[in-house]
């Protein structure tokens, strides 16, 4: 049951922002992926400005961390695509479409998948800071992604329940 809605500035603005962030994510994937490939090619001599005592093991570790960051950006890109699809159904007057519950659950799994990648990145950053002098790395875990995953899973259940209630209502009318 869809009720086409008049133009909604908030939905339109959010859709535009999602498009911009998705483009930025693609740019980030390309840049980080390229840097991850170049770092080992530079060798220890080319990486002396990154930190003193940098070895090839450290270079490959740094590249691996960047590739994990690329994977996180891929999940962000895909998750924002799902959010855009949810916005489209809301704009069409069908917010409790069963597909939206599936989309939210998938977004929850994307967010949950980021958690172990972040743990690995932070662990490797802490290790690198301990063995390479003067290296500048931010080694903090963001618990926001944990709560994001939980909220998305809860919202998926809410939307699934809303879709079931709507189907029951349609059957009784």
- Parse the chain into domains and list their residue ranges: 9-172
**Confidence band for 159, pLDDT divided at 50, 70 and 90:** very high
pTM: 0.88
CB < 8 Å & 24+ apart, contacts of 7-14 = 8/91, 11/87, 11/90, 11/91, 14/87
What is the model's pLDDT at position 4? 58
User: Residue 143: is its pLDDT beyond 70?
Assistant: yes
Question: Bigger pLDDT: 155 or 133?
Answer: 155
User: What mean pLDDT comes out for the span 7-33?
Assistant: 96
* Separation CA 136–CA 139 (nearest Å): 9
User: What mean pLDDT comes out for the span 123-139?
Assistant: 87
User: What mean pLDDT comes out for the span 123-143?
Assistant: 87
CB 92 within 8 A of CB 5: yes
**Confidence band for 169, pLDDT divided at 50, 70 and 90:** confident
- The closest of 167, 158, 160 to 102, measured between CA atoms, is 160
User: Residue 1: is its pLDDT beyond 70?
Assistant: no
Quick: pLDDT tens for 102-114. 999 999 999 999 9
Quick: pLDDT tens for 46-60. 777 777 778 899 899
* Separation CA 22–CA 81 (nearest Å): 8
User: What mean pLDDT comes out for the span 80-96?
Assistant: 94
**Confidence band for 3, pLDDT divided at 50, 70 and 90:** low
- b/e 103-142 (16+ beta carbons within 10 angstroms → b): bbbebbbbbbebbebbeebbebbeebbeebeebebeeeee
């Amino acid at each position: 049951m869809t009720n086409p809605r008049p133009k909604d500035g908030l939905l339109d603005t959010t859709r535009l922002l999602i498009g911009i962030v998705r483009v930025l994510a693609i740019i980030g994937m390309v840049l980080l992926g390229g840097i991850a490939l170049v770092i080992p090619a530079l060798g220890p001599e080319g990486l002396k400005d990154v930190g003193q005592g940098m070895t090839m093991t450290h270079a490959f570790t740094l590249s691996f961390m960047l590739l994990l960051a690329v994977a996180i950006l891929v999940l962000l890109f895909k998750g924002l695509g799902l959010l855009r699809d949810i916005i489209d159904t809301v704009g069409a007057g069908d917010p409790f479409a069963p597909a939206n519950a599936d989309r939210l659950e998938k977004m929850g799994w994307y967010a949950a998948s980021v958690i172990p990648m972040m743990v690995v990145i932070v662990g490797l950053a802490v290790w690198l800071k301990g063995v390479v002098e003067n290296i500048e790395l931010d080694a903090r875990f963001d618990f926001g992604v944990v709560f994001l995953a939980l909220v998305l899973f809860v919202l998926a259940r809410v939307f699934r329940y809303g879709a079931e209630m709507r189907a029951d209502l349609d059957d009784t009318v």
